[in-house]
Amino acid sequence: MLEKTRGIILHQIKYTDSGIVTQIYTRKFGRQSFLIKGMRNRKTGKHNILFQPLFILDMELYYKASREMQTLKEFSVSFTPYDIYSNIKKSCVAIFLGEVLTSVLKEESPHNELFDYIEESIIYFDKCKEGFANFHIAFLAGLSSFLGFEPGPRLEKEDAFFDMVNGIFVRIPPVHGNYATEEITNILAEFFVASYGSISNISLTGKMRNDILETLVRFYSLHLPGLKKIKSLDVLKEVFS
């Protein structure tokens, strides 16, 4: 059946000498795989840039639920993240977020509010000219609410430890050992209630930013046992160290 939808590019891998297989999070059908032939040859290779992480496309596709890979008929650019791909730090964030989203988003599970959150976040990130070093942390903190394991707010300052298993802030370290230190807990409590407009006010050293990021990835892995190792994590940590 011929369908129209909008899609966010998450990831691509090479397929044969000139094709690619790309993961796209669509508004109408959730995460889908597409086999696109000839994308890396001389004639059509110029379009390959449009299938980099966080590009947003308007798509026309032949959709069949039972098919492992869908067929893309036509596409046009809905939003081009120009600034993301002209800034090395932003492009590293884009690759990291695309890899995370590929792992955590389910196939054939449309979620309009989640799609809107990702789309609006990409547009904000692209337009943000400064103070974006904390963006990927804030994005993961916000994403947790759509994935079903967002922590409740910290109600008391005495709740000095973030219990990652139960997603709550507690006064004493839990016996299971999966908790954040007091310093990281204090900062995470800010991120879980912050807006993108206020995250630049959270002052972090490069080391602390990386420690917080590692804690969030660990938090995700506890609630999403199928989460794959994020290969781009080390590169991102180096860029923001």
Model pLDDT for residues 108-148, shown as the tens digit of each residue? 778 999 999 999 999 999 999 988 999 999 999 999 999 99
Lowest mean pLDDT among 30-34, 37-41, 204-208: 37-41
Number of domains in the chain: 1
Q: Looking at residue 52, what is its pLDDT?
A: 93
Q: Is residue 183 part of a domain?
A: yes
Query: Average pLDDT, stretch 158-163?
Result: 96
163 lies in which domain range?
A: 128-241
Question: How buried is residue 150: exposed, middle or buried, by Cβ count under 10 Å (0-12/13-18/19+)?
Answer: middle
CA dihedral 167, 209, 217, 122 (to 10 degrees): 100
Q: Looking at residue 49, what is its pLDDT?
A: 83
Confidence of residue 25 (pLDDT cuts 50, 70, 90): very high
Q: Is residue 241 part of a domain?
A: yes
Q: Is residue 16 part of a domain?
A: no
Residues 6+ apart with CB under 8 A from 203: none
- Check if the beta carbon of residue 31 is closer than 8 Å to that of residue 43: no
At 205, is the secondary structure helix, strand, or coil?
coil
Residues 6+ apart with CB under 8 A from 84: 54, 90, 91, 93, 94, 122, 125, 126
Q: Looking at residue 102, what is its pLDDT?
A: 94
Q: Looking at residue 37, what is its pLDDT?
A: 79
Q: Is residue 180 part of a domain?
A: yes
Q: Is residue 213 part of a domain?
A: yes
Q: Is residue 28 part of a domain?
A: no
Q: Is residue 132 part of a domain?
A: yes
Query: Average pLDDT, stretch 212-219?
Result: 96
* β-bridge partners, 100: none
Q: What is the mean pLDDT of the chain?
A: 92
User: What is the DSSP secondary structure assignment for residue 107, as one 8-state letter?
Assistant: B
User: What is the DSSP secondary structure assignment for residue 228, as one 8-state letter?
Assistant: P
Identify the CA nearest to 74 among candidates 95, 94, 50, 98.
Answer: 50
Q: Is residue 38 part of a domain?
A: no
CA 115 to chain centre: 11
DSSP string covering 114-169: HHHHHHHHHHHHHH--SS-TTHHHHHHHHHHHHHT-PPPPP--TT--EEETTTTEE
Confidence of residue 40 (pLDDT cuts 50, 70, 90): low
